[in-house]
A and B are shown apart, each in its own frame.
Chain A
Amino acid sequence: MAKKEIDRRFNKFGTVSFMGVSKTNDFIDYLEQGKVMGTRCKACGKAFFPPRSDCFHSLTSEMEWFEVTGTGTLLTFSTLRYAPVGFEGDLPYTIAVVDYGDYKVFGRIDKAIASPDEELKVGMSMKVVAGKTANGQDIYFFQKA
């Protein structure tokens, strides 16, 4: 019998991924199809972002994927001028938290926004899009809605 290959798709997430094996690895396939997805518990309907494979509320692993669509509100952001090891080539870059109501999304601001500290304001409408990092990894970005 052939040796079963280990699913390490999550190694493709972000500039530097620190883990490859997760039960939410389908997230990467969706991202490559241009979709940013969360999970929802089939029993209680609770929405999770980042996606989880288990619901602590219902104590079940029966989850379904949903797409993060529409717009959210920019809760906060910060532009890094100093980076941890492995991210120096990305500088400067901006991280942010966007509130979609039922859930929030943490991620990066699209580099197309040239001067984020001047252009962004807490409370603005944002949307999330799938994309690639400078080193060709899968990622998602926030853009102005």
Chain B
Amino acid sequence: MSKVGIIGVGQSTFVRSYPGSIRELAFEAYSDAMRDAQITNDLVDATVICSSPEYDKQRSPAGVVAEYLGLNPQPTFYVETLCSSSSTGLKLAYSLVKSGLHSCVMVLGFQIMSQLTSAESQERMGRGADIQWESPFGTMMPAYYALHAQAHMAKYGTTSEDLALIRIKSGTYGQLNERAVFRKEVTPEMFADKDGFGGPVSSPLRVGDCCANADGSSCIIVASEEKAKALCKKPVWILGIGSASAPVNMAGRDQFSGLLVGIEAGKQAYKMAGITSKHIDVAEVHDCFTIAEMMAIENLGFAEPGGGPELVRAKETYKEGKIPVNVDGGLLSKGHPIGATGCSQVRTIVLQLRGEAGAIQVKDPTIGLVHNIGGVGLYGNVTILGRE
């Protein structure tokens, strides 16, 4: 079976308010990835452009972005699965190469969120759920994840302090990541400030439990085994890809202490790669909220259900721990420009596996994992990457 490799990765700096258009933002990640791959654009024979609509005015952005990057007349495809759009795009790119239809595909995720206020953004995000039966109650992403935090606390005795530990870790690494939006240390004292991190958002989640909206772009270039070996000194191989969906309405869910899509996509990815969670050396998981990282740790098998808090308290998810998680600052500190998040996570793991992660480098990893969730566990992708 021929493999599919990643030969280039790129990312813009994630910022609060990008001073440019979506095509200009896309160029930042694209040029970074093309310089990394050291290829010319005639080698790219298809593109996949990913974002979540309604944050900017452009309809059907794939054509606009492909043209700006000089990628006509190659075909371009637009992919949307909310916050997991670009890891879904990576799965499409993998399929295009694996099928032999294309041999080198560029995946680009972007999002400009700063043109909206936070409340407007929450209203749009809320409409990524059930607009007939849930949105009229005034739902928003923090509230949906808060329902899961409440259930996790009730079932396992997890505390707000346990969740804060996740935010403190992301602060540690966000400081080291030059491309992160939030580059400050996070301390337990900050959660005591009711006008700051300790302020209530949706019980039991507080301001400090939530990631910040950001503007940003990310880009991954994948190639067939033959091309990857010819073009790239250190290709990183896609070993496993799992994807799943779940009922959109909370009334359709069987549990609130974990995300079914994370569990299902993880199972598929481990099976395809022929490994278990024990083989993972470094992981990027979808921590749009602290509780999301806690559930991911358990759903991916790094801890038993309910064992997440103990792993977090023991600092086993730090860079030197048993399973380093989100050592680039995660969505919480790096930022969450939703369409760009998946490929940004993939970039981090590729740099880790190449030994090029700098200050956040984990010691000699061979296999890494990316867990990217769309909506409130509506979509989920788990991607396993390896050096060999």
Contacts and interface: CB of A to CB of B under 8 A. Distances in A.
A76 B318 CA distance: 30
Of listed B130, B138, B250, residue having the most chain A CB within 10 A:
B138
Contact of B249 (A106, A108, A122): A106
A86 to B, nearest CB: 7
Contacts of B203: 78-79, 81, 117
Interface residues of B, number: 42
A123 interface: yes
Interface string A62-89: 0000000000000111111111111110
A14 B123 CA distance: 14
Contacts of A44: none
B251 A80 contact: no
A55 to B, nearest CB: 14
A80 B138 contact: yes
A60 interface: no
B131 interface: yes
Contacts of B147: 76-78, 95-97
Given A85-B123, A106-B133, A76 B251 contact: no
Contacts of B122: 82-85
Interface in A104-129: 104-108, 117, 121-123
A82 B249 CA distance: 21
Contacts of B158: none
Contacts of A76: 147-148, 150-151, 154, 256
Contacts of A81: 199-203
B251 A90 contact: no
Nearest to B122: A84
A22 B133 CA distance: 11
A94 B155 CA distance: 20
Interface string B203-221: 1110000000000000000
A83 B251 contact: no
A77 B136 contact: no
A97 B130 CA distance: 14
A105 B251 contact: yes
B120 A106 contact: no
Contacts of A18: 127, 131-132, 135-136
A104 B133 CA distance: 13
Nearest to B254: A104
Contacts of B142: 82
A15 B138 contact: yes
A80 B154 CA distance: 18
Interface string B153-183: 0110000000000000000000000000000
Contacts of B117: 85
A50 B131 contact: no
Contacts of A97: 147, 250-251, 253, 256
21 contacts: A13-B136, A49-B251, A50-B133, A75-B256, A76-B154, A76-B256, A78-B143, A80-B201, A81-B200, A82-B200, A83-B119, A84-B120, A84-B139, A84-B140, A87-B138, A88-B119, A95-B143, A97-B253, A103-B251, A108-B138, A123-B154
Given A76-B148, A85-B123, A93-B138, 17 more contacts: A10-B132, A16-B135, A18-B131, A49-B251, A77-B147, A78-B202, A82-B200, A83-B119, A83-B138, A83-B140, A84-B123, A88-B119, A95-B137, A103-B251, A106-B249, A137-B136, A139-B137
8 shortest interchain CB distances as A-B pairs: A14-B136, A87-B138, A78-B146, A122-B154, A84-B123, A50-B133, A84-B122, A104-B251
Interface of B: 117, 119-120, 122-123, 125-127, 130-140, 142-143, 146-151, 154-155, 199-205, 249-253, 256
Interface of A: 10, 13-19, 22, 49-50, 75-88, 90, 93, 95-97, 103-108, 117, 121-123, 137, 139
